[in-house]
Amino acid sequence: GLQATVAAYPFTTTRPAAGMLPFNGIQIQLIDTPPLAPDTPPWVYHILRTADMLLWIIDVSDDALLEETEKTRTLLDKARISTEQPVGACGQTAQPIEEGLCKKTVRVGTKCDDRQAADRLAILEEMLGEVRVLPVSVETGAGIKELKQAVFQTLDIIRVYTKRPSKPPDMEDPVILPCGSTVMDAAFHLHKDIARTLAYARLWNNSGYDGQRVERAHIVQDKDIVEFHT
């Protein structure tokens, strides 16, 4: 798991800390960065720009959370990073816009076990408009399952399992692909030679496919099992 420095005072994270979030049979890499501030070094913004998605962590035990949230939003605007893009639509990716870059973002309200957290969270969501803030608590475990699900959905990725002819599928190491990927994309992910010589594939899933032949341009879905034929 992610081993981040945690304390009851701000700016305890001074260097990026990488860790893995296990969910649904895959490992999702998280990078804990220092909080944004006027003197935040440029490499922090580079991490934000190149990440597949952002987790915006908001302390809902802090009476100043509205002010702190606005400060963070101002710093992101100055860095030309927009977090206002809707999330969760399959196939959606961060797109360049005229003023900068839109990043898929999940806002996380931490320390939701605080006695006044619910009131602060309601005020925060009112300020943000229709944007939802996901309440979590590391102390009690509340919201952690929902957070993992939100990360997985926001990444817009699918798991495709592969098998060899006459062999059982490999259900331990799926191919991770963006939503909207094809059989050819899955083959290329395994090895470029498989993609180069691929003739067709056979497909198994819970939507009616039971080993039927599909062509290279067929769109694969989450949890599909694919058998490649060259």
Q: What is the pLDDT of residues 155-205, one digit of tens each?
A: 999 999 999 999 999 999 999 999 999 999 999 999 999 999 999 999 999
HSE-CB at 23 with a 13 A cutoff on CA atoms is 19
- Cα separation, 15 vs 60, in Å, equals 23
Give the model's pLDDT for residue 196: 94
Q: What is the pLDDT of residue 99?
A: 52
* Residue 192 confidence (pLDDT): 93
**156: closest CA among 215, 88, 225, 74?**
88
Strands 100-102 and 96-97 come out as: antiparallel
Which stretches of the chain drop beneath a pLDDT of 70?
1-14, 85-100
Residue entry with tokens 């005229």: 98
pLDDT at position 85 is: 57
Return the pLDDT at 8. Answer: 41
* Dist. CA 191–CA 24, nearest whole Å: 24
Would you give the DSSP letter of residue 52?
Answer: S
